[in-house]
Structure 1
């Protein structure tokens, strides 16, 4: 039985830590994009805008039903097969590259998390009492002004726990990008240990780094939740 190599564990930990910025990029950009687009989707569905609301409901249901891993693999195959052909057709100078896989992963993770963002933001919007809308209309505000001045400030405290869960889910999903060749914490940790086949040490090192990122996010979200709670009390007063 092969003994556990503490040196390989440390080596994998150090090697993988160099890719924390890239992993954070895989988390931060999809988070911002999915929140922004998810908010628009939530508003359309809450306001029940004709045509758009039912179409978006169907699209979000479809995307939610496909695992992130499958979305990444399918997108990678399409990218590998057709990107250069499409680029040549439109006269683009860009061609397939390793950097392209990172951008592709960011796009797919953004798409994959739009439905989740839209759902919890829609729930946060619906949690705002109808009397708040009525007060806004009585004050002469338009629908968009009510959304900006009244609804969004009250949505944020309601949405913070879901935002925390979404960020942690993005941390886990970012590890799936290693399956299509994106260099991140997991891929680099495995690569550094593959010469000696010390994969257990590599996986444990990657797990420790992902756990550390998750703990950091949870602490930030708890601090944000406390501030939001005080803000909510101030609004109620």
Structure 2
């Protein structure tokens, strides 16, 4: 077997316009997932009535079912809900108004939220509880103690797992093609379909994903090094 290097380069160049979609999906899902995960993690740690039980069920269900299943459930289920509400309340907005990438944003954010909830919870539990008690003893509120003492140390402890989650969502973004969103992998299939050189096209896609992953790893290493300069212990 010979690799057509000229087409490999051609495919690489033609895949570049699809990178923004992949990055948008990854960034939006991880950002929204982080917010969801933080709420779920805090509700479970502090055993907030109802929210704690709902959070546990949410994490268990999402982590126990495939990412593709979440996407398909949102893709086929959300329009039914939106159209039903639109008919009931007379909205002009309906499921047709939802862009295809919107289904990926919602689905992947829900998926990321469940996994990040456990990452955040483990990071916060890694901080010695005595520090929170010490903060209370000098007059800090729980919110102040979390913001100034617990969260910075929990972030440092959870950073490697946060990086893994970010990379996982980057790679998971390839599933968006299922709902007709053209990201890197989907663009590779489109490019390859012109002359059936699938190996070169997917190899070009793999190189791009590899490059982005390396950038994430390097950025995480620099951030971890910077954080550890100011981390003077306290993480058990």
Report the TM-score when normalising by structure 1.
0.91
Q: Residue 82 of structure 2 contacts residue 94 of structure 2 at CA under 8 Å; is this kept in 1?
A: no
Structure 1 equivalent of residue 165 of structure 2: 166
C-alpha separation in 2, matches of 1:78 and 1:63: 16
Structure 1 equivalent of residue 189 of structure 2: 190
Structure 1, unmatched stretches of 5+, are none
What aligned pairs does 1:16-55 form with structure 2 within 5 A after superposition?
16-55=15-54
C-alpha separation in 2, matches of 1:86 and 1:212: 44
SS of equivalent to 2:20: helix
How many residue pairs get matched? 234
Structure 2 equivalent of residue 214 of structure 1: 213
| Residues 184-204 of structure 1, C-alpha deviations (whole Å, 9 max, x = no match) | 111112111202111111111
Once superposed, what is the RMSD of the aligned Cα atoms? 2.1
Structure 1 equivalent of residue 151 of structure 2: 152
1:92 correspondence with 2:92: yes
C-alpha separation in 2, matches of 1:44 and 1:68: 24
Structure 2, unmatched stretches of 5+, are none
C-alpha separation in 2, matches of 1:199 and 1:86: 44
Deviation at 1:4, TM superposition (A): 2.8
Q: Residue 19 of structure 1 contacts residue 183 of structure 1 at CA under 8 Å; is this kept in 2?
A: yes
| Residues 79-136 of structure 1, C-alpha deviations (whole Å, 9 max, x = no match) | 5667556545542245526x71101101100000111111011111111112101111
Report the TM-score when normalising by structure 2.
0.91
Residues 95 and 54 of structure 1: CA distance in aligned 2, closer, same or farther (over 3 Å): closer
Structure 1 equivalent of residue 142 of structure 2: 143
Deviation at 1:73, TM superposition (A): 2.2
